[in-house]
């Protein structure tokens, strides 16, 4: 094997890696290599500590925890949103931690989708995560329209990627709103958000992006690009924990826009407990909150986001590109005889994961788990491997490919059925 791809070189790369010390900040099961951070990130010790701190504040202060303690609950959504601003390129007040991916999409669609005249359609794409499409269909029905007529999906030419020319061509006079993913969840392809925002605005169409597979792994400049809105989860690359509170971005040009779905936590803070019948909404992204924040789903983010602010998204992106490039080199060198196809972009338009295609993908994923590597299966034939810059090493990547090679050499995957588990 090429010496540059051997384990000694992997160890040398780890020694030279300025971020390698952060791996010790995470709880990692001994003997396990975790490559599923694009589905659920690992627990960090800082996230664990901030959750325990919030539990302690409940125990110590009871109802007074809303205003007392190290992390008062009343402004917690705003404070966590502030921590996320650098990750999306937001200005002061443009980011709030609230809801979940789908709830926030419902809120934003209800706020920005105003079909009238010939502009009645929502433009999306057929490769997006289905939950987004379910929400958009629901919002169309709430307007008294038919999703099969008013949800316009950009088709993929190859089943992996979207051609941005096709997206731009679909921005016709019948489109009232555009919702697209920043990174395609299967293939990891990054869309040019700046260009697509400009093209949409040139046609008078508001546009928003789903950042679930981009936040925490690639830089964004949403404010500078003029993007109208964005939404995301925090349990993948941000390591906020299962069901962690989501986030949304509203460009400051929309601060006076009334949210489509009103709720008392969208009020101006000093007026919230006036209990007036008519709301006075906050003059920033906070207006798009609906109900009382889930304090214990916010709590781990306090500690987790400290890590991101310590490191900076540019350094994380640099390491992520190196990890995935190294993994692709190993795959091409070590696994060329076993029928794998690399289905993600090989240039820097890839996100944070590798997408391997193989006819036996489901059973290979099961064999990897049995061998101590945690991957992610996507039907019908996809294996996602996500070396996370904060807690995966180059040696982890090397060892993952070696275990995969052993599985293929000895056909260990044939011990398993080629069907996905209940949760893929």
> For residue range 49-91, what is the model confidence (pLDDT) as tens digits?
999 999 999 999 999 999 999 999 999 999 999 999 999 999 9
Binding residues for pyridoxal 5'-phosphate: 101-102, 129-132, 210, 213, 235, 264, 292
Mean pLDDT, the chain, integer: 97
Q: Which two tokens stand for residue 363?
A: 């059973």
0.75 surpassed by pTM? yes
Contact 179, 105 (CB under 8 A): yes
| Confidence band, pLDDT 50/70/90 cuts, at residue 96 | very high
The class (CATH top level) of 3-30+312-408 is alpha beta
Q: Which two tokens stand for residue 94?
A: 């443009």
Q: How many CB atoms lie within 10 A of CB 150?
A: 21
**Span(s) in the chain for CATH 3.40.640.10:** 49-311
Q: Which two tokens stand for residue 67?
A: 């205003």
Q: Shortest CA distance to 391 belongs to which of 16, 7, 21, 15?
A: 21
The CATH label, of 2.60.200.20, 3.40.710.10, 3.40.640.10, 3.40.50.300, for the domain at 49-311 is 3.40.640.10
Q: Which two tokens stand for residue 165?
A: 């020319």
pLDDT for 1 equals 46
pLDDT for 3 equals 61
pLDDT for 64 equals 98
> For residue range 130-160, what is the model confidence (pLDDT) as tens digits?
999 999 999 999 999 999 999 999 999 999 9
Tell whether the model's pLDDT for residue 420 goes beyond 90: no
Q: Which two tokens stand for residue 265?
A: 């936590």
pLDDT for 272 equals 86
pLDDT for 127 equals 97
Q: Which two tokens stand for residue 251?
A: 């460009």
| Confidence band, pLDDT 50/70/90 cuts, at residue 275 | confident
pLDDT for 131 equals 97
**Span(s) in the chain for CATH 3.90.1150.10:** 3-30+312-408
Tell whether the model's pLDDT for residue 192 goes beyond 90: yes
What average pLDDT does this structure show over 29-52?
97
| Confidence band, pLDDT 50/70/90 cuts, at residue 199 | very high
Binding residues: 101-102, 129-132, 210, 213, 235, 264, 292
| Confidence band, pLDDT 50/70/90 cuts, at residue 34 | very high
From residue 343, alpha-carbon distances to 184, 323, 328, 367 in Å are 12, 17, 11, 20
Q: What is the chain's length?
A: 424
pLDDT for 103 equals 98
Q: Which two tokens stand for residue 187?
A: 């293939």
């Amino acid at each position: 094997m090429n010496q540059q791809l051997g384990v000694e070189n992997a160890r040398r790369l780890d020694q030279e890696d300025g971020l390698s010390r952060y791996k010790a900040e995470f709880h990692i099961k001994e003997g396990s290599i975790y490559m599923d951070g694009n589905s659920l990130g690992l627990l960090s010790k800082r996230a664990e500590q901030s959750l325990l701190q919030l539990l302690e504040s409940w125990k110590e202060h009871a109802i007074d925890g809303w205003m007392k303690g190290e992390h008062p609950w009343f402004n917690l959504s705003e404070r966590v949103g502030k921590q996320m601003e650098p990750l999306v390129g937001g200005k002061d007040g443009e980011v709030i931690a609230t809801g979940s991916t789908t709830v926030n999409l419902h809120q934003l669609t209800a706020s920005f989708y105003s079909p009238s005249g010939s502009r009645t359609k929502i433009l999306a794409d057929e490769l997006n995560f289905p939950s987004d499409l379910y929400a958009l269909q629901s919002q169309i029905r709430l307007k008294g329209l038919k999703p099969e007529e008013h949800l316009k999906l950009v088709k993929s030419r190859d089943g992996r990627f979207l051609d941005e020319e096709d997206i731009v061509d679909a921005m016709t006079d019948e489109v009232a709103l555009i919702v697209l993913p920043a990174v395609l969840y299967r293939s990891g392809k990054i869309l040019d958000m700046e260009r697509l925002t400009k093209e949409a605005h040139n046609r008078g169409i508001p546009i928003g992006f789903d950042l679930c597979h981009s936040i925490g792994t690639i830089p964004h400049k949403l404010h500078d690009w003029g993007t109208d809105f964005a939404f995301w989860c925090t349990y993948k690359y941000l390591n906020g924990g299962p069901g962690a509170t989501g986030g949304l971005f509203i460009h400051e040009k929309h601060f006076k826009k009334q949210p489509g779905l009103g709720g008392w936590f969208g009020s101006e803070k000093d007026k919230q407990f006036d209990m007036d019948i008519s709301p006075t909404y906050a003059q920033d992204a906070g207006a798009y909150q609906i109900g009382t924040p889930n304090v214990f789903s916010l709590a781990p983010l306090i500690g987790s986001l400290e890590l991101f602010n310590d490191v900076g998204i540019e350094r994380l992106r640099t390491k992520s590109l190196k990890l995935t490039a190294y993994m692709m080199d190993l795959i091409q060198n070590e696994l060329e005889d076993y029928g794998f196809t690399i289905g993600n972009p090989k240039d820097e338009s890839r996100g944070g994961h590798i997408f391997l295609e193989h006819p036996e993908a489901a059973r290979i994923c099961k064999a990897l788990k049995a061998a101590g590597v945690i991957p992610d299966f996507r039907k019908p034939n996809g294996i996602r491997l996500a070396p996370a810059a904060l807690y995966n090493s180059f040696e982890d990547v090397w060892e993952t490919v070696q275990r995969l090679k052993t599985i293929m050499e000895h056909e260990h995957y044939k011990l398993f059925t080629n069907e996905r588990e209940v949760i893929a």
